[in-house]
Amino acid sequence: MDQDVDLPKTTAFPVRTARVDGNGTSLPLAEARNRAAEFSRSESIVFLDVDCIPSASMIDRFQSALRDDDRLWMGSARYLPANATDGQWKMDDLSLLARPHPLQPDLDEGERQPSEHYEMFWSLCFAIRKSTFQQIGGFDGSFDGYGGEDTDFAFAARHAGVSFGFLGAVAYHQHHKVCKPPLNHFDAIVRNAMQFREKWGVWPMESWLNAFARMGLLQFDIRDDTLSILRKPLSEEIDAAAAVAPYGF
């Protein structure tokens, strides 16, 4: 997104790329994923965030699950500590160092867990049949920038009658600094939250909205169903929110 890529040459399998440009202020995440799905020549599509490393078995696990059960399968991200991928790292090293996210199921390799908790879907590592992706209608491109577009996709899947589940298909999330709460995405989160509420009748990202409210940035009351911006975060507040957590969450 917003840049050309220069990938190492490989003869193991064909690699094709496409460029998607945003408006210069936010990343076109939904549009980029839709373009990738259109670009795919396979009936099985795996989506993986750029800061993640697939385990050696991830593709096979997804392929097997999609062959047996047509549903939206969310993989198992494992979070790496800082410097885990420095130097000549090995896949076995990543497996030993990585930790599961405390808010997501901790599945064994290959384990499948059907779920009705569509709100728990995260788009950093998932797989779906191309025909099912088209049945859902893809990601809603009107969600611009960070926040809400993946939950909207999951809700659209439920609305379309597509089943959901968690799968022990492991990807390793590389450590990087994060903002807690994500003040660096304040505008997009608020905008997308309001759009999500209008579309689905519930508020997404409540913990972030409540955190913004505690900082005096928002007037947010879920009981009264109101949200309004009081002020934007200051640059020094954004800098102060930047955190280097042990595993990046």
Enumerate the domain spans of the chain: 29-173, 178-243
Write down the pTM of the prediction.
0.94
The tens digit of pLDDT for each residue in 38-78 reads 999 999 999 999 999 999 999 999 999 999 999 999 999 99
173-230 tens-digit pLDDT: 999 989 999 999 999 999 999 999 999 999 999 999 999 999 999 999 998 999 999 9
**Cβ atoms within 10 A of the Cβ of 200, count?**
16
Res 244 pLDDT > 80: no
Residues near 152 by beta carbon (within 8 Å), at least 6 away in sequence: 139, 140, 143, 196, 199, 200, 204
Query: Tell me, what's the pLDDT at 22?
Result: 80
Which tokens sit at 163?
């089943």
167's CB contacts (< 8 A; 6+ apart) are: 61, 62, 65, 73, 74, 75, 76, 107, 110, 111, 112, 113, 127
DSSP 120: G
pLDDT number for residue 10? 81
**pLDDT score at 17:** 86
pLDDT averaged over every residue in the chain:
94
Structure tokens, 99: 């930790």
Mean pLDDT of 96-109: 96
| CATH 3.40.50.150 is the classification of domain 29-173 | no
Cβ–Cβ < 8 Å for 145, 187: yes
At position 187, the amino acid (one-letter code) is D
